[in-house]
Amino acid sequence: MNPQASHSLAQSRIAVLGYGSQGRAHALNLRDSGLDVVVGLRRNGGSWQRAEDEGFAVVEPADAVRDADLVAVLTPDMVQPALYRDAIEPNLKPGAALLFAHGFNVHFKQIEPRSDIDVVMVAPKGPGALVRSEYARGRGVPCLFAVQQDASGHAEARARAYADGIGGGRAMLIRTDFKEETETDLFGEQAVLCGGASALVQAGFETLVEAGYQPEIAYYEVLHELKLIVDLFYEGGITKMLEFVSETAQYGDFVSGSRVVDAGVKARMQDVLREIQDGTFARNWITEYAAGLPNYKRFRQADLDHPVEQVGKKLRARMPWLQPAETQSAVAADTVTPLVTPFKRVG
């Protein structure tokens, strides 16, 4: 970490609210960077014991906020507005900083922060387990950072110091604003990473199985091997993927890829983006959450019940070596059981 940039948090107390995917990783990394961290959680919540077992002072959110110079809001997005109203706004010191890992609530005005505080964002471009395991290896996960409100005159320095503290400064920091981060993050997870990729896999699986091929073979072709391709993308882009697959696979890619994901798909991606930009998605999601998640639960169950999951469960039970390396090293580094499903979310 860069000692210069960390200076602006060196004398500060940081309250991390939430101890889930991001909260746990940030709290551990910040502490290992020598910073003063207190964790704020609901007393009856599931992560209280874990944060305590991992050596943190754990208090209720309002108490964590009261003494803090920087409050990192790392609870689920949908609980943040009430948390801000009840625990943060009445207790935050004048001149303190409020930090988010995603711009949703500020951008869509679910939280309208007090004008006497700094409002910043540090958004790691990876799940919490990776933020932790990369840090433990002396590396980091690239982060976006943004300043929404600079009351102290030091908002950017604080955001950069926080990003350094979680290891992002060892990798890459990219300046953005709340609007750009929010809209691109939502688009990425909906169109490509979570929504697009799982729909592509399900459709490919169904196509093979409905044509009479064995589900086990279909699973390997359209789901299991996707990781090998994505790893090549990650390391060297489409260029590296093309270098590592056969000429036959390349030719098939060229003539069939754009038939499957055609201009109609791109036009519908643009529809999805428009509904993110104009607030339709945010409004629908907030309404769905307030209604007790009826559609969310139904959609989720359909994903869990899909035949690719049934066959996948059986096959993965016979491939114990698939346990991700990141999880194993996170276990080694922290000597605790990893999160139940450390890679469950992109963010």
Q: Does position 45 bind ligand NAD by CB under 6 A? A: yes
Q: What is the CA radius of gyration of the chain?
A: 22
Q: Does position 103 bind ligand NAD by CB under 6 A? A: no
> Measured on CA atoms in the order 170, 174, 178, 179, is the torsion positive or negative?
negative
Nearest to 173 by CA among 139, 195, 143, 137: 143
Binding site partner of 15, from ligand NAD, Mg ion, none, Cβ cut-off 5-8 A by kind: none
Segment (H or E) for 16: strand 13-17
Q: Does position 90 bind ligand NAD by CB under 6 A? A: no
Rounded to the nearest whole angstrom, what is the least distance from the CB of residue 346 to ligand NAD in the complex?
Answer: 6
Rounded to the nearest whole angstrom, what is the least distance from the CB of residue 113 to ligand NAD in the complex?
Answer: 15
Alpha carbon distance 36, 56 (integer Å):
10
Binding site partner of 75, from ligand NAD, Mg ion, none, Cβ cut-off 5-8 A by kind: ligand NAD
**Piece of the chain touching Mg ion by CB under 5 A; list 27-35, 180-188, 191-199, 257-265:** 180-188
Alpha carbon distance 52, 213 (integer Å):
51
Alpha carbon distance 54, 334 (integer Å):
8
Of positions 18, 20, 338, 347, contacts Mg ion by CB under 5 A: 347
Rounded to the nearest whole angstrom, what is the least distance from the CB of residue 346 to Mg ion in the complex?
Answer: 6
- Residue 67 per-residue DSSP state: T
Q: Does position 285 bind ligand NAD by CB under 6 A? A: no
107 among known catalytic residues = no
Binding site partner of 19, from ligand NAD, Mg ion, none, Cβ cut-off 5-8 A by kind: ligand NAD
Segment (H or E) for 308: helix 307-317
Of positions 185, 205, 218, 326, contacts Mg ion by CB under 5 A: 185
Segment (H or E) for 304: helix 294-305
Which residues does the annotation mark as catalytic? 102
